[in-house]
Structure 1
Amino acid sequence: MHFEPITWERLARTLAAHADGLEPADGGAWLRVGVDGAPAARPEEAAAHLAEALRARGRPVLTVSTGGFLRPASLRYEYGKEDPDSYADSWFDTGALWREVFRPLEAGGSGRVLPDLWDPGTDRATRSPYQVLPEGGVLILHGPLLLGQWFPFDLGIHLSLSPGALRRRTEEGERWTLPAFARYEDEVAPAGRADAVVRADDPRRPAWTGLGA
């Protein structure tokens, strides 16, 4: 896989221009973009850059983090607080993401998206109000382990880290998650599912494959 140097700003502008030429695969009125990456790759920052570039092109954007769709602690910690298989398989409420984020944006949907559901700090529902994404708008969902869930992304971006960079950039207290990301690479091969792969080993000097990787 060949990577070419790029800045985050130019990457965002290039992806936004590409998104402007896309039609939703289901014939609906909303484009759905996934920014997939381990927390160490800072997918929220890449998503923010892309959202800014899309808004500059006049597109309404709603950015959603999978961190707002964690399951309650009683389910996340059923097998302990540092179980990598639980992190990979049952920490994130994929059913709620389908119900509250993706189905409202299907063809004929309402456009009413719940931006978050659960606050892991209080371990209670956030009770956030629904937000309406106008037709022609773009959803950006960002977070880890996204490309193995069959989410209906019209554009998928994978932020890649080498094993060494992933370990270095993951906080010591979170390194128990590393086997989950190794398993994700082995079982899902996210780089092969993404429309573009961004190597983010050095956050100051990203490189990417271009579109259609």
Structure 2
Amino acid sequence: MTLPHRDAGPLPGPLLPGYPLSGTTEAPPNWPVDDMPAARPDWRERLALGADLALIGIAVTALALPVVTAPAALATGSAAVRTRYAGGRLPTWRPLLRQYRRGVLPGLPALLAAAVLLIDLVAVRGGWVPGGPVLLGITAVVTAWLAGVAALTLVALGRDPELPWRTAAGWAWDHPKAATVLALIGVIAFFLVLAVPVTLPLMVGFHLFAVHLLSDRLAPA
């Protein structure tokens, strides 16, 4: 004797959550996908970057030896570091030489201001003017902060070599937070060079690289 067939109808749902029954069409679960980690440069790329920064620092030091060309040499070095930092290669020497020649005259006021601040520091420290340690501390802080503004001005000139120096200085003045951070970095670099003066040519290139790296985070273009 056979039992009559009974149609139980469709089951109320899938046996397990997330797994559809056979014969049904259901979109697959949308699982989150982790982003692939960015490729990091290996030791050869880091070594090449260090060698290029050292080469830039030596060239800037040589171009700044006449003293009156120091601001132009630093601006040119900033442009070279920017190209190496952003493009992964050193720039050709012709545009750098053109920027160097063009920046000698605009850099003279900056050189004069640096000389005045240096003479002021020496005078206060030597007791030639009244004020004592308090005035010396205030003068040192102001000098360091203005050095941060100058470093940020070099960043602007490195980003756009055609930018007028006065416009670059005005942009740097409008970013006091970034200038303060660069001032602190400059103080650290100053004492490192003071401890080992022979590292000055190398420190120039690495310091310019550091100020560009920090400025992209604190004062993006």
Scaled by the length of structure 2, the TM-score of the pair is 0.23
Q: Higher relative CO (CA 8 A, sep ≥ 6), structure 1 or 2? A: 1
Which structure: greater helix fraction?
2
Scaled by the length of structure 1, the TM-score of the pair is 0.24
Which structure: greater strand fraction?
1
